[in-house]
Amino acid sequence: MNKNLKEMIITALMIAAGIILPIIFHAAGGPTAGRTFLPMHIPVLLCGLICGWQFGLACGVITPLLSALMTGMPMMAMLPGMICELAVYGAVAGILTHFIRAKGIYVSTFISLAGAMISGRLVLGVLNSLIFQAGEYSLQAWVTASFVTALPGIAIQIVFIPAIVIALKKAKPRLV
């Protein structure tokens, strides 16, 4: 199977996971589970790390858009910011994975993941303060939303995403 086709299939699976995971988290954890556990972020970051920046970017744009249309999550008021944030996550994860060559796959994956997570949050903060919520958005609101409320989701991403990427690369080297 050609590499591009494999990446398209993985991307489609990550988009589906990005729609299904928030439904599960909201059912189990209530209406604030999305902001706390960040379930849509996980497949987008994985897609960028596994398939590269182009597929990560596409996954980051398509996932929240389809999810909003199919499930109503995220709410339309939050959709433009989430599209931008997730697009940056997917693209930066793929770019950094391509260029970072640290000692060991775990360190390289972790650095790529951390860089993508920081970049996406910075872009969302800048866009919210200048465009999406201009005049209503403060540094305190950004820190609270991006780091304090999201701390459980950040921890989940840091612990599980590198482990998943490494397990996939070891289990099926021809797949990823």
For 95-114, the pLDDT digits (tens) are: 999 999 888 889 999 999 99
User: What are the residues whose beta carbons fall under 8 Å from the beta carbon of 25, sequence distance 6 or more?
Assistant: 33, 34, 37, 39
Amino acid 82: pLDDT: 96
pTM: 0.94
pLDDT at 173 over 60: no
Q: What is the mean pLDDT of residues 123-141?
A: 91
Amino acid 102: pLDDT: 86
CA 134 to chain centre: 24
Amino acid 80: pLDDT: 96
Q: Phi first, then psi: what are they for 136, rounded to 5°? A: -110, -5
3-49, pLDDT tens digit by residue?
A: 899 999 999 999 999 999 999 999 998 888 999 999 999 999 999 99
Q: How confident is the model at residue 2 (pLDDT cuts 50, 70, 90)?
A: confident
| pLDDT mean across residues, the chain | 93
User: What are the residues whose beta carbons fall under 8 Å from the beta carbon of 76, sequence distance 6 or more?
Assistant: 68
For residue 84, which of 27, 28, 150, 133 has the smallest C-alpha distance?
133
User: What are the residues whose beta carbons fall under 8 Å from the beta carbon of 60, sequence distance 6 or more?
Assistant: 44, 47, 48, 83, 85, 86, 87, 88, 89, 90, 91
> Do residues 79 and 33 touch, judged by C-beta distance below 8 A?
no
DSSP state of 27: H
Amino acid 92: pLDDT: 98
